[in-house]
């Protein structure tokens, strides 16, 4: 099979094409023939050498895909989507049997590729960790990202009120269309905390979904409500906070919870995905929940096709995208 590899960390030019044998399946794995993958921040960081493949899993980059589960002869069994621990920048990839599931009815494989990492992460934040309740207020930073656009829809789906923060009016327009009830342009709004507290009737928010970190700490500290949960799942705005007053959180009994999905155990992911399917498949099939795709980049497995991979990573690094960046593979 052909796949993307790198022999050193660096910029997009370290991405190359290589041919290798098919993955050797473990007892609890199945093989997927990949039709589409989608680009994630963690994959860019892996290319840069800032994060590493999970121990015991494929060193090939890639965390999500859609395609077909195949048998030992290569026969297509059913269309599927999956959350991988690595390996999807390839024509074939091994996946834990409990981390792959049939494509929801009514969706295309292209749409399916935009679901696993973003939507299961958003579900983990809102439902699994955040334990969102009806009429809760949910603050979503980077709301036009893949996780952000999923989180807005899930908050609304579970009866909560979504507050979206993003960097442009174009991005916020999409957020509003998806169900965000308050949209904040953090580049132009000078009184973000006042707007948010007014919207929440002075109570503050119940959940903060934060992939930014230190840069937004002062705002988070002002808007989080009593018994609120500040869930940190990224650090695009840094990790070092000067004069961090823990007493401020303690007075409101607020919780700071950190989480990463990539490093979770297979058992945790299996349970999470099982609950995700139970709670959301009907929403996808009915059209209440829909993956948002910024663009689809068609690639070929040759030097010309490398430009598509590099463009995809460059777009992710620029933060230009609204929703997911999907990569389409040529049919095998």
pLDDT digits (tens, 9 = 90+) for 102-136: 999 999 999 999 999 999 999 999 999 999 999 99
Considering the domain architecture, whether residues 98 and 147 belong to the same structural domain is answered as no
Counted domains in the chain: 2
Q: Which of 324, 124, 156, 144 lies closest to 231, judged by CA?
A: 124
**pLDDT value, residue 159:** 98
**pLDDT value, residue 332:** 86
Residue 78: which CATH number?
Answer: 3.90.180.10
Considering the domain architecture, whether residues 208 and 136 belong to the same structural domain is answered as yes
- Asked, for residue 322, whether it belongs to a domain, the answer is yes
- Asked, for residue 245, whether it belongs to a domain, the answer is yes
Domain that holds residue 184: 122-258
- Asked, for residue 285, whether it belongs to a domain, the answer is no
Mean pLDDT for the stretch of residues 163-175? 96
- Asked, for residue 314, whether it belongs to a domain, the answer is yes
Domain boundary among 235, 258, 281: 258
- Asked, for residue 27, whether it belongs to a domain, the answer is yes
Asked whether residue 193 carries a pLDDT value surpassing 90, the answer given is yes
Residue 195: which CATH number?
Answer: 3.40.50.720
- Asked, for residue 29, whether it belongs to a domain, the answer is yes
Average pLDDT for the chain: 95
- Asked, for residue 269, whether it belongs to a domain, the answer is no
Considering the domain architecture, whether residues 43 and 68 belong to the same structural domain is answered as yes
Q: pLDDT tens digit string along 23-54?
A: 999 999 999 999 999 999 999 999 999 988 87
**pLDDT value, residue 235:** 83
Q: pLDDT tens digit string along 222-266?
A: 999 999 999 999 988 888 888 788 888 899 999 999 999 988 999
Instruction: Let me know the angle formed at the C-alpha of 53 by 46 and 16, rounded to the nearest 5 degrees.
Output: 55
Considering the domain architecture, whether residues 230 and 251 belong to the same structural domain is answered as yes
Considering the domain architecture, whether residues 174 and 228 belong to the same structural domain is answered as yes
Element (H, E) at 176: helix 169-178
Handedness of CA 7, 87, 94, 70 (dihedral sign): negative
Residue 254 CA, chain-centre distance (Å), reads: 25
Considering the domain architecture, whether residues 167 and 70 belong to the same structural domain is answered as no
- Asked, for residue 267, whether it belongs to a domain, the answer is no
Considering the domain architecture, whether residues 232 and 105 belong to the same structural domain is answered as no
Considering the domain architecture, whether residues 104 and 27 belong to the same structural domain is answered as yes
**Band of residue 318 on the pLDDT scale cut at 50, 70, 90:** very high
Cβ density class 133-155: b for 16+ within 10 Å, e for less: eeebbbbbbbbbbbbbbbbbbbb
Considering the domain architecture, whether residues 95 and 145 belong to the same structural domain is answered as no
Considering the domain architecture, whether residues 127 and 248 belong to the same structural domain is answered as yes
């Amino acid at each position: 099979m052909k796949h993307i590899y790198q022999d050193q960390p660096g910029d997009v030019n370290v991405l190359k094409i290589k041919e290798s044998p098919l993955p050797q399946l473990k007892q609890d794995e199945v093989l997927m023939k990949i039709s589409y993958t989608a680009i994630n921040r963690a994959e860019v960081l892996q290319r840069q050498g800032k994060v590493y493949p999970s121990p015991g899993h494929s060193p090939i980059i890639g965390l999500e895909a859609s395609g077909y589960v195949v048998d030992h002869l290569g026969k297509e069994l059913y269309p599927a989507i999956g959350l991988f621990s690595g390996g999807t920048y390839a024509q074939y990839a091994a996946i834990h049997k409990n981390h792959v599931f049939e494509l929801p009815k009514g969706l295309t494989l292209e749409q399916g590729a935009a679901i696993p990492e973003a939507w299961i992460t958003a579900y983990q934040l809102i439902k699994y960790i955040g334990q969102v309740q009806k009429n809760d207020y949910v603050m979503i930073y980077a709301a036009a990202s893949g996780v952000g656009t999923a989180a807005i829809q899930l908050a609304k789906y579970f009866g909560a009120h979504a507050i979206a923060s993003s960097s442009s009016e174009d991005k916020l327009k999409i957020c509003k269309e998806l169900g965000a009830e308050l949209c904040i342009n953090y580049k132009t709004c000078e009184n973000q905390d006042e707007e948010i507290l007014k919207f929440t009737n002075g109570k503050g928010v119940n959940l903060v979904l934060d992939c930014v970190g230190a840069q937004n700490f002062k705002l988070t500290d002002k808007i989080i409500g009593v018994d609120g949960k500040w869930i940190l799942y990224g650090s695009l705005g840094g990790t070092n906070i000067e004069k961090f007053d823990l007493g401020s959180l303690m007075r409101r009994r607020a919780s700071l919870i950190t989480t990463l999905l990539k490093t979770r155990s297979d058992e945790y992911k299996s349970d999470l995905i099982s609950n995700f399917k139970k709670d959301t498949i009907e929403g996808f099939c009915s059209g209440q929940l829909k993956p948002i795709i910024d663009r689809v980049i068609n690639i070929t497995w040759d030097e010309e096709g490398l430009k598509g991979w590099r463009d995809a990573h460059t777009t992710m690094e620029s933060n230009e995208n609204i929703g997911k960046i999907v990569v389409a593979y040529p049919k095998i």
